[in-house]
Amino acid sequence: MPITAEQAKELIRQRRSVFPNTYTDEPIPDEAIVEILENANWAPTHKRTEPWRFKVFRGKALHRLGEYLARWYQEHTPAEQFLERKYNKSLNNPQRSSCVIAICMQRDPQERVPEWEEVAAVACAVQNMWLSCTAHGIGCYWSSPRSILEANEFLDLKEGERCLGLFYMGYHSLPAIPGKREPIENKVTWITE
């Protein structure tokens, strides 16, 4: 059954960032996570480099991720700038989530395309994940703290890989959140001649 333009429009316009402080304890089934990742795998990719790589944190690994993020924040924040609130958020947000996915990129070893195209392909994969989560009623958001951008050892990244952030996921208790955008007319120039 083909998806209508109206259905696609509604899904795109309902996509929101939904944060872990609103997540419930309901676990996301593994099958849903696999489907969401498979949808990510269908993102556009120049020369079919398929640069996206994902590391899925579940169960006890969420606690280990939170400890890493909190420890990194504590070790890299001057005492006069340290905020207990940020420390606790770093520690607890992974554990509030049903799943956290490290969004990684494997650079094409032959560098057949510019790096920005590989980053854009990964971003398209994440948009596919976001839309899939929206369709499943799963809240999610993409976070890119410096702690995870510099987590090569913690994430056991391979040669040419880098982390572009964390994708937090969980069922949530929020009602529909109205979206806000400036009019498209303010952002488009039509060139006809």
The Cα–Cα gap between 111 and 136 comes to 36
Q: For the chain, what percent of residues have pLDDT higher than 90?
A: 95
Is the pLDDT assigned to residue 55 strictly greater than 90?
yes
Is 3 inside a domain boundary? no
Measured between alpha carbons, how far is 193 from 191 in angstroms, rounded to an integer? 6
Chain CA centroid to CA 83, Å: 25
Residue count (the chain): 193
Of 71-80, 156-165, 177-186, minimum mean pLDDT range: 177-186
Q: Are 168 and 57 in contact (CB under 8 A)?
A: no
Domain assignment present for 129: yes
Q: Which helix (H) or strand (E) holds 78?
A: none
- At 53 the pLDDT is 98
Q: How confident is the model at residue 127 (pLDDT cuts 50, 70, 90)?
A: very high
The answer to whether position 8 is within a domain reads: no
Across residues 113-128, what is the average pLDDT? 97
> Rounded mean pLDDT of 27-36?
98
The model's pLDDT over 137-159, given as tens digits with 9 standing for 90+, comes to 999 999 999 999 999 999 999 99
Residue 181 belongs to domain with CATH number: 3.40.109.10
Mean pLDDT of the chain: 96
Q: How many CB atoms lie within 10 A of CB 113?
A: 17
- 10 domain-assigned: no
Query: Is 4 inside any structural domain?
Result: no
If one counts the domains in the chain, the total is 1
List the structure tokens of 56. 């899925």
For 69, the token pair is 């993020």
Predicted confidence (pLDDT) at residue 177 exceeds the cutoff of 90: no
Q: Which of 94, 83, 104 is nearest to 40 (CA)?
A: 104
In a domain, 93, yes or no: yes
Q: How far apart are CA 145 and CA 123, in angstroms?
A: 16
pLDDT at position 1, please? 73
Name 137's Cβ contacts closer than 8 Å, sequence gap at least 6: 171
- Rg of the chain over all Cα atoms, to the nearest angstrom: 18
Confidence of residue 100 (pLDDT cuts 50, 70, 90): very high
Give the single-character DSSP code of 172: B
Range of the domain at 61: 15-187
